[in-house]
A and B are shown apart, each in its own frame.
Chain A
């Protein structure tokens, strides 16, 4: 069975003005242009249906052209529902060309009890391309243990590995082990990729070996994680070249 087509957003810079060169709707996501301001385009990723259910394969393809800037907005979070033995997939492929910028403050990604989700984010940065992204993974709606989640991220800068991680949160006992998540159910991350801030301002902010930085919050509640990450997001937003 072939995979469903991805939702696509491509932007370019035409003589200093941002231009959306491709906007493709999928079964799951309906991208909508919110506005163009100078070299920056804002696009909302609007959910087209109650995702994610067993068998769903939500795909996103984001292309940011040279010297252009794309801001993605998610009006609502994503909830993966009880899959009753099936599995749902969520994946994003992001390509940022030289001098391009992507800002993506993703809304919470909630894995309900009984859900089984594989999530994959793949980022390819050309030299000088940057991504500032934020993700909040939540295991379970309020009062739930939460389903099974495997989340991988692979980012390269100029073809070299920059950040590669694979979170195996499939088994409740193993993910609750000390050092993995312990008793926490929320793992939130801000990542600046392709450029590094000049300094870190919080003990949990860390510079990557390559050009980039990471800040995590591991908490019980999503709002605590978001509050912890807000200052870092704002600071790194300023630090992103071209901001």
Chain B
């Protein structure tokens, strides 16, 4: 049971690609992956690889941010610092910061007095997406599990929605990829919730995803930001 009446609705809202945060302009690395030769048949493996690496790292950061926003908002800076150190690609940090800014703007307008939102407003740098998601999730009343799942679901849907624009994909088949990811996604939710100390934030890396993000940054022909 969630205390806030907006908890359940908020969980749907924050996972909705129609939310005005700019997520439609991102492909979670799919565009440079396709340019490097990734095929439609490989997308389910790409989704799973992301869930097990960057997806888990981000979902755990979102959970830690959700907890800090509720208990001790000054601790959010530590979550941001830990996630920055686990994001060596400057291109991926920029992309995550753009999405974080989008969520932060929503928070500032809708929950201006929430301590987590107030804390983010003090920062010079953009909060990374998972940090902002944790804070806005706290403001809307979502619990940790909802925040973790929203973070991972968003990653899946960003790839899947971008696939429809980049490759000849049947939208129903693409929806099936998301559903087929359920077992791995829930396993990652469980792992994210089990982390309690910022120092224990997972750091599982996907080196080729990082390389692709850097290739994409210097590419002159692109549809998506990242």
Residues of A participating in the B interface, judged by any CB pair closer than 8 Å: 152, 154-155, 160-168, 174, 177-182, 184, 187, 203-204, 206-210, 214, 216, 218
Is chain A's interface secondary structure helix, strand, loop, or mixed overall? Answer: strand
Total B residues in contact with A, Cβ cutoff 8 Å: 38
Complex interface: chain B residues within 8 A of A204 (CB): 211, 214-215
Residue in A166, A178, A180, A203 whose beta carbon sits within 8 Å of that of B202 in the complex: A166
A206 and B214 form a contact (CB under 8 A): yes
A203-B217, A206-B91 are contacts. A179–B86 as well, Cβ < 8 Å?
no
Contact of B89 among A184, A206, A210 (CB under 8 A): A206
Q: Is B11 an interface residue (CB 8 A)?
A: no
Kindly list chain B residues whose C-beta atoms are within 8 Å of the C-beta of A177. Answer: 45-46, 48-49
Interface presence of B206 (CB below 8 A)? yes
Q: Does B1 contact A (CB under 8 A)?
A: no
**Contact of B181 with A by CB under 8 A:** no
Contacts between the two chains (Cβ within 8 Å), count: 95
Question: What's the Cα separation between A178 and B85 when bound, in Å?
Answer: 23
Asked if A203 and B215 sit within 8 Å, CB to CB, the answer is: yes
- One digit per residue, 1 when the CB lies within 8 angstroms of any chain A CB and 0 when it does not, for chain B 42-55 equals 10011011101100
Give chain B residues whose Cβ lies under 8 Å from the Cβ of A206: 88-91, 210, 214
- Of all chain A residues, which has the CB nearest B202? A166
Residue in B85, B201, B202, B204 whose CB lies within 8 Å of A209? B85
Question: 6 nearest interchain CB pairs?
Answer: A161-B85, A177-B49, A209-B84, A166-B203, A179-B209, A164-B203
Indicate if B153 sits at the interface (CB-CB under 8 A): no
A178 to B50, CA, bound (A): 9
**Nearest chain B residue, comparing its CB with the CB of A191:** B88
A165–B86 CB distance below 8 A: yes
Contact A207 B90 (CB under 8 A): yes
User: Cα distance A181–B84 when bound, in Å?
Assistant: 22
Q: Restricting to B85-117, which residues have a CB under 8 Å from any CB of A?
A: 85-91, 93
Indicate with 1 or 0, residue by residue over B39-67, a CB within 8 angstroms of chain A CB atoms.
Answer: 00010011011101100000000000000
Given contacts A166-B202, A204-B214, contact A178 B49 (CB under 8 A): yes
B82 is an interface residue with CB less than 8 A from chain A = yes
- Among A164, A178, A179, A187, find the residue whose CB has the most chain B CB atoms closer than 10 A: A179
Pairwise interchain contact A181-B207, C-beta atoms closer than 8 A: yes
Q: Which residues of B contact A208 (CB under 8 A)?
A: 85, 88, 90
Contacts A165-B203, A166-B202 known; A180 to B88 CB distance under 8 Å? no
Chain B residue numbers with a CB within 8 Å of A160 are 81
Within the complex, the shortest CB–CB distance from B72 to chain A, in Å, comes to 18
List chain B positions with a Cβ less than 8 A from chain A.
Answer: 29, 33, 38, 42, 45-46, 48-50, 52-53, 81-82, 84-91, 93, 201-212, 214-215, 217-218
Q: Which residues of the other chain, B, contact A179 by a CB distance below 8 angstroms?
A: 29, 33, 46, 49-50, 53, 206, 208-209, 212
Query: Given that A152-B203, A177-B46 are known contacts, is A164 also in contact with B90, CB under 8 Å in the complex?
Result: no
Other 7 A-B pairs with CB < 8 A, given A167-B207, A179-B50: A178-B33, A178-B49, A179-B53, A181-B208, A203-B214, A204-B215, A208-B85
* Closest Cβ neighbor of B217 among chain A residues: A203
Q: Are B42 and A164 in contact (CB under 8 A)?
A: no
Chain A nearest CB: distance from B207 CB in Å? 6
Decide if B204 touches A166 in the complex (CB within 8 Å).
yes
Per the bound structure, the CA–CA distance linking A103 and B48 in Å amounts to 37
Which A residues lie within 8 Å of B203 (CB)?
152, 154, 164-166
* B205 & A166 in contact (Cβ 8 Å cutoff): yes
**Whole-angstrom CA separation of A177 from B211 in the bound complex:** 14
Cα distance, A155 to B53, chains bound together (Å):
19
Whether the pair B81, A163 counts as a contact (CB closer than 8 A) is: no
Contact B52 A178 (CB under 8 A): no
Cα(A179)–Cα(B48), bound, Å: 10
Q: Considering the chains assembled together, what is the distance between the CA atoms of A165 and B85 in angstroms?
A: 8
Task: Look across to chain A and name the residue whose beta carbon is closest to the beta carbon of B89.
Answer: A206
Shortest Cβ distance from residue B75 to the other chain A in the assembled complex, whole angstroms: 14
Q: Of A162, A178, A210, A216, which contacts B38 at CB under 8 A?
A: A178
Residues of B within 8 A of A152 (CB): 203
- Report the Cα distance A166→B202, complex, angstroms: 8
B87 partner, pick from A154, A182, A209, beta carbons under 8 A: A209
A168 to B56, CA, bound (A): 13
